[in-house]
Chain A
Amino acid sequence: MQNEHFPSKLLENAVDEFARLPGIGRKTALRMVLHLLRCELSEVEEFGQAIIQLRKEVKHCNVCHNISDTETCSICSNPARDRSVICVVENIRDVMAIENTRQYNGTYHVLGGIISPMDGIGPNNLEIESLIERVKTGEVIEVILALSTTMEGDTTNFYIYKKLKNTDVNLTTIARGVSVGGELEYTDEITLGRSIMNRLNYFDTIK
């Protein structure tokens, strides 16, 4: 669809916007836009409203930085959760995967990515400093590193380890088979549940 001619500028604008979404090519974008054109106006208004509201009103938990509707997320504000254990993950999808196992009762810390200079992501672009601060409050006994097993995940783990090695906190990691390059969200629930229960001392894994 390189020499596409749109009879309408409005149509073209909408296609351009959809095509910016990950995994959406221009053909699919056009299909989506044409679908919306066939919908009732009220449906389309709800659709647009949901997206605008999401973007405007979404908050990040002021403790764990997970996406939240409230200042402090439902996990962090739940008195039944064990605040002395923090599980460090890349994003909300990892939180959802671990929550689905129903095996974990601690809290989280969502970094918002992993260190990758080629993508322009350095430690300062991530919630690493806030993690160090949380640990320094003294309430935390254990930090679980549950980042992906990629080179970037390893790099981030090691960076956090260096930042925390002079504290008393126990640094652990979850065991995950041999899935090099595998992401946390793809691990099946039972395996993930088991590894979150049987974690390893991080220092032993890097020797």
Chain B
Amino acid sequence: MHLENLSILNYKNIEQADLEFCSRLNCFFGDNGAGKTNMLDAIYYLSFCKSFFNAIDSLNIRHDTDYFMLKGQYTRKKEKELVSCGYKAGSKKQVKRNRKLYKRLSDHIGLFPLVMISPSDASLILGGSDERRKFIDGVISQFDHRYLESLIRYNRALLQRNNLLKKFAENRTFDHEILSIYDEQLIEHGEKIHKKRQDFLSGIIPVFQHFYAFISGGKENVVLEYNSSLNNTPLREQLAGEVEKDRATQYTNAGIHKDDLTLLLGEYPIKKTGSQGQNKTYLTALKFAQFEYLKNAAGLKPILLLDDIFDKLDSKRVEKIIELVSQDQFGQIFITDTNREHLENIVGRIPTEHKIFRIVDGKLNN
């Protein structure tokens, strides 16, 4: 699958732009703030019906205007496809596929798979466990609406159960019967979610290992593990065992809402020991593994967006990444960088088809 052309109107700092892309490497260069990341974000928007950076659409409209419009012409499974997203301040956003308006945006998500690698991914390593669960949930739910439904139900039951525990404490009461109804719902959905997270991670972990070794030259040992109390003990048993603790803390202590990923470099958490370059390598390998997962799930090669990926990486690793993405397992790629020479140096050395765009003040300047 690839994006053939993109037209942008009033999106962020871009007044108007019409771009024709090649099916492999497309590079944007320009100063910080020129708008190259906004170009990537427009492409992201067409796949996810929202900005990567800002979910509030009114803030994505260019200053002094009251609407934005994005249109992309794709080739997908040998068919031409037109996707358009429009938003006018104060009204509902409209997303169309081949001129047909979607009733539910969730029907669109996953059809034009895309992976974005951005400096903000660092929160996966540096942030709390909720960031890592959000990453896992985001990837799985794109192709599994029942997973998303289970997750919504689980979170709702959890919220109500925690409220119930507070009420028990406030009123000095306890009602096992009503508590057990929430337990049943947590168990039903929690076990399903756990199974799907486990399947997802056991699929991507070896792929991640392979990519990390490739980019780093195989000199560093990294570990990625799914860390869940459900790995060893069924949730039913845990909830039963924690009742007294739950009552004392007025909070549900066991469940998939406590899941996390263990990220190690050598024997230590990468959060504590990783250099910026190592962190970036780790995240890139993880996102590449996500790419492989999506590719299998969707049955086509996702679009890959690499925002400022070469910053903080030494030239050897940059070279390895370019070598990797120019292989046939990857498809269309969009890269941003501040330096033209740097970009030309990188892509000039590989035989893969490429195109370079210069962005100045939100405009295409070739």
Interface residues of A (CB under 8 A from B): 115-118, 120, 122-123, 150-152, 154-155, 158-159, 162, 180
Cα(A150)–Cα(B149), bound, Å: 11
Are A122 and B167 neighbours in the complex by a CB distance under 8 Å? yes
Contacting A at CB under 8 A, from B147-169, are: 149, 152-153, 156-157, 159-161, 163-164, 166-167
Cα(A117)–Cα(B169), bound, Å: 13
Is B184's CB within 8 Å of the partner chain A? yes
Is B185's CB within 8 Å of the partner chain A? yes
Interface residues of B (CB under 8 A from A): 149, 152-153, 156-157, 159-161, 163-164, 166-167, 175, 177-178, 181-182, 184-185
Could you show 11 A-B contacts with beta carbons less than 8 Å apart?
Answer: A117-B160, A120-B167, A122-B167, A122-B178, A151-B153, A151-B157, A151-B185, A154-B185, A155-B157, A155-B181, A155-B182
Which residues of the partner chain B approach A115 to less than 8 Å between Cβ atoms? 178
Q: With contacts defined as CB atoms under 8 Å apart, how many contacts are there between chain A and chain B in the complex?
A: 40
Cα(A77)–Cα(B184), bound, Å: 39
Which residues of the partner chain B approach A154 to less than 8 Å between Cβ atoms? 185
Are B163 and A118 neighbours in the complex by a CB distance under 8 Å? yes
Are A158 and B163 neighbours in the complex by a CB distance under 8 Å? no
Which residues of the partner chain A approach B167 to less than 8 Å between Cβ atoms? 117, 120, 122
Looking at chain B's contact residues, the main secondary structure is: helix
Q: Told that A116-B160, A117-B163, A123-B178 touch, could you supply 10 new A-B pairs with CB distance under 8 A?
A: A117-B160, A117-B161, A118-B163, A122-B175, A123-B175, A152-B160, A155-B157, A155-B181, A159-B178, A180-B152
B189's nearest neighbour on chain A, judged by CB, is: A151
Cα(A64)–Cα(B178), bound, Å: 24
Cα(A117)–Cα(B185), bound, Å: 15
Are A159 and B153 neighbours in the complex by a CB distance under 8 Å? no
Known A117-B164, A162-B177; judge A155-B185 contact (CB<8 A): yes
Which residues of the partner chain B approach A116 to less than 8 Å between Cβ atoms? 160
Distance of B178 from chain A, by nearest CB (Å): 6
Which residues of the partner chain B approach A118 to less than 8 Å between Cβ atoms? 159-160, 163
Distance of B193 from chain A, by nearest CB (Å): 15
A151's nearest neighbour on chain B, judged by CB, is: B156
Distance of B103 from chain A, by nearest CB (Å): 13
Which residues of the partner chain B approach A155 to less than 8 Å between Cβ atoms? 157, 160, 181-182, 185
